[in-house]
Structure 1
Amino acid sequence: MTSRDNTYPGFWGRYSRQSHGTLAFAALACACASAGAQNAPPASSSTVTVYGLLDLSVASATGPGGRVVKLDSGHVNGSRLGFRGSEDLGGGLRASFLLESGLNVDTGGMGQNQGAGAKMFGRGAYVGLSGDFGEVRLGRTLITISSEAQAAGDAFGLGGSGNAQGIQPATGRSNNTVWYQSPKFGGASAKVSYSFGEQPVSKAGNHVAAGLFYAKGPVGAAAAYTVLRHPTDESRVRWFNAGASYDFGTFKLFATAATFKNPSAALTPAVHAALDSNIQLAGIPGVGYYAGQNDRSVSIGASVPVGVGLLLVQGVKLDDRGPLDRDAAQFGVDYIYNLSKRTSLYTGYGRVNNRNGAALSLTGATSQAGLNASGDSDAYRVGLRHAF
């Protein structure tokens, strides 16, 4: 990563020749600056970091007309370009910001262009304050509390050929959000958020989330509960997501569990497209969610160091207890071979089997395979990832 603070090369040191008048002016300016500095507040310490990640893979994937060979951006991790920074305000108070743009490196276009329009910083955009009280952020979330709890038990970290979010429901990023994280107590912390739907005389699109997180030693665990006011009838759409992991040293074990309930109006693809300009829904089928959908899902996975790389394997089972019984099962395996701390090669395979028209596709971080004639989805991949 390239770090840049708010200091610059000395202006006067850049020139070897100065006229007498210029030198006199410089001396006067320095004197004035010195006098003013005696009454000025202490200089703050601030930093700005520019960072990014490029992930491209060649895939042989299912499609409605047969297999397709294609180049995809963002399989193991979403490709991105970001800017983040902070300023020490004194007294233990710190201001921070983040602007992160998704990239489709295969075409040179922007990612997160869903819904009502393109998002220049679709992966996250916020400003915040932190201190002894915890941290408050305002803006578009980098990750929702629902997805973060899910990620705590996902061996693939929400990307790659077997990530849990491929078929397990969760909420994605959300606009217009007030987000709070408590201080940590013995490895535990709490997070809450509220996102405004910004509809006149209506709660449609509003959503609230809360979660508990724990990380200490070899143990990691999290649980979150989310309620979205349906954009059509303001009914309460609900998610519960939990994840846990344990590091045994020779391998790390992961597990997730989740529930999803859509009690009233259908969340059709058209409704989701309109809603997606405000909040993303992860793990949503291509046919949307029907009225009365009632999902239960679990996953179990592992990461195993192999040589200089990492082997990831995971299975996910989705049980729809609603009237249409749209079940699905997913399995995936990836091997990531590290060429350096910032560059890696990877290969993998994943498959989703659907029942009763579930229409869930195999997805990576931002990549996606289509459905074949039987309504299932799979892909073989080999790719390259570089971070800076």
Structure 2
Amino acid sequence: MKTVQHLSLAAAATLSALASLSAHATDVVVYGRLNATFENVRVENGHSRNVVNDNASRIGFRGTEDLGGGKAVIFQIESRVRVDGSDSGTTLATRDSWVGLRTPQGTLRLGRTLGPIYYATYDHISMHNHDTGYSSDALLSSAILGNSNAAGGRMNNTIWYTSPKIADFTLEAAYALLDEAPVASGSKRTPHHLGLVANYDRGPLHAAVSYASTQNTTDLDSAAPIRFNNDRAVTAGGSYNFGPLVVGALFERSKRSTLTEDLTRNYWRVALMAPVGAHEFHLNVGVAGDYSGTDDTAGKQYTLAYNYNLSKRSKVYAYYTKIDNDSARSTGGGGAYSFLGSPAGLDISSVALGIRHNF
């Protein structure tokens, strides 16, 4: 009888130990998105091309180790993948990748990321295709993404703090050393970015106000005295789900340094989504004004889209998007439009059919 009791106690102790180990084990989740379109892209001079375009497909790993007491080590490793035959930018950890610590006092992340401003504002006005591909936001302020060439739009060497939620408010702060060599020989100025965000989330409402400052990423004058840029932006935006209609909007006031003055610009964008069963109808409009003291540097962007949800994870969709540049404004030739170069005043449009699957 004693032997059975000893065995029972041993089994209970073993199960307790296993439960304790399980509670502290690292939980890893594999996730991702595959998103591709067939598109006809046209420029105002009549040239067009047909493309199969990858829309920011990715694969990632998220992990959590529960430390007890409301504390956990968290991490994410996310990489770009492409389904359009190109292998450009598909090395490991090309997208948001970081390690962090979550505590009752807040969450701290260290690594590479778009930063809290993008996710608190721009991410809520790109409901039709998650701000990817040819219909992505062409009017986005360079201050928000750190204006970082080295990071490809993401900021390297970032420390990002998120406060606990108090009365529906959270505060976020990010500081990034952008890992770009100073342009001027002998200069000790380090390119860096500061982002501050106040979020309010209650039920169907998300609202945020942010401030961004990105400095020293561009040498404006190689002759002495050297002057570097200081791009700044104040943004307010968010979204509200009314049920039959989801509305997202933002307003941004940005300031860009030149050799002789600071140029300011106003930018607003509105996004509407009307879900009807498995159907979604989208309208997205963005308008950027002229930079102060300049003419014909404004731009507009329009997108009309339709999504059909095959399941909670998969959808087919179509959209028409157009970028209408004033004569002195350049799209920049970056991202999806790199094949165009960077001519000023070029209007661009695209008609697309796509498939997206999240896993």
Change (3 A) 1:41 1:72: closer
Q: Which of 297, 305, 308 is residue 334 of structure 1 equivalent to?
A: 305
Change (3 A) 1:220 1:108: same
Partner of 2:239: 245
| Deviation of the 1:373 alpha carbon | 9.9
Moved more, 61-70 or 151-160: 151-160
Counterparts of 1:113-262 in structure 2, within 5 Å, are: 120-141=92-113, 143-151=114-122, 153-156=124-127, 157-159=130-132, 163=136, 165-169=137-141, 170-171=144-145, 172-197=153-178, 202-231=188-217, 232=219, 233-262=227-256
C-alpha RMSD over aligned residues: 3.0
Partner of 1:353: 324
CA distance in 1, matches of 2:318, 2:346: 24
CA distance in 1, matches of 2:268, 2:22: 53
8 Å CA contact 1:208–1:227 kept in 2: the answer is yes
Structure 1 unaligned spans of 5+:
1-29, 113-118, 267-290
CA distance in 2, matches of 1:331, 1:238: 25
CA distance in 1, matches of 2:71, 2:253: 38
8 Å CA contact 1:61–1:369 kept in 2: the answer is no
Change (3 A) 1:104 1:357: farther
Q: Which of 57, 66, 72 is residue 37 of structure 2 equivalent to?
A: 57
Partner of 1:115: none
Change (3 A) 1:97 1:374: closer
Q: Which of 285, 306, 310 is residue 276 of structure 2 equivalent to?
A: 306
The one-letter amino acid of 1:317's match is: V
| Deviation of the 1:93 alpha carbon | 0.8
8 Å CA contact 1:153–1:221 kept in 2: the answer is no
Change (3 A) 1:309 1:300: same
1:79 pairs with 2:44: no
CA distance in 2, matches of 1:323, 1:234: 20
The one-letter amino acid of 2:311's match is: S
SS at match of 2:132: coil
| Deviation of the 1:54 alpha carbon | 0.8
Partner of 2:356: 385
| Deviation of the 1:111 alpha carbon | 3.1
Instruction: Give TM-score scaled by structure 2 length.
Output: 0.79
Change (3 A) 1:249 1:262: same
The one-letter amino acid of 1:90's match is: G
Change (3 A) 1:374 1:93: closer
| Deviation of the 1:120 alpha carbon | 2.4
| Deviation of the 1:250 alpha carbon | 0.8
CA distance in 1, matches of 2:333, 2:286: 12
| Deviation of the 1:202 alpha carbon | 2.8
Moved more, 323-332 or 200-209: 200-209
CA distance in 2, matches of 1:213, 1:298: 19
Larger relative contact order (CA 8 Å, sep ≥ 6): 1
| Deviation of the 1:159 alpha carbon | 3.5
1:320 pairs with 2:314: no
CA distance in 2, matches of 1:90, 1:351: 51
8 Å CA contact 1:222–1:244 kept in 2: the answer is yes
Structure 2 unaligned spans of 5+:
1-9, 146-152, 220-226
| Deviation of the 1:162 alpha carbon | 5.0
The one-letter amino acid of 1:121's match is: A
Change (3 A) 1:250 1:370: farther
Moved more, 309-318 or 229-238: 229-238
Q: Deviations over 1:99-137 (max 9, x none)?
A: 00012210151437xxxxxx5211111000001011000
Q: Which of 243, 257, 262 is residue 263 of structure 1 equivalent to?
A: 257
Q: Deviations over 1:42-79 (max 9, x none)?
A: 851321111111111010002577110111000xxx20
Query: Identity over aligned residues, as a percent?
Result: 29
Partner of 1:16: none
Instruction: Give TM-score scaled by structure 1 length.
Output: 0.74
SS at match of 1:147: helix
SS at match of 1:357: coil
The one-letter amino acid of 2:314's match is: T
Give the total of aligned pairs.
318
CA distance in 2, matches of 1:357, 1:71: 30
CA distance in 2, matches of 1:97, 1:293: 39
The one-letter amino acid of 1:45's match is: A
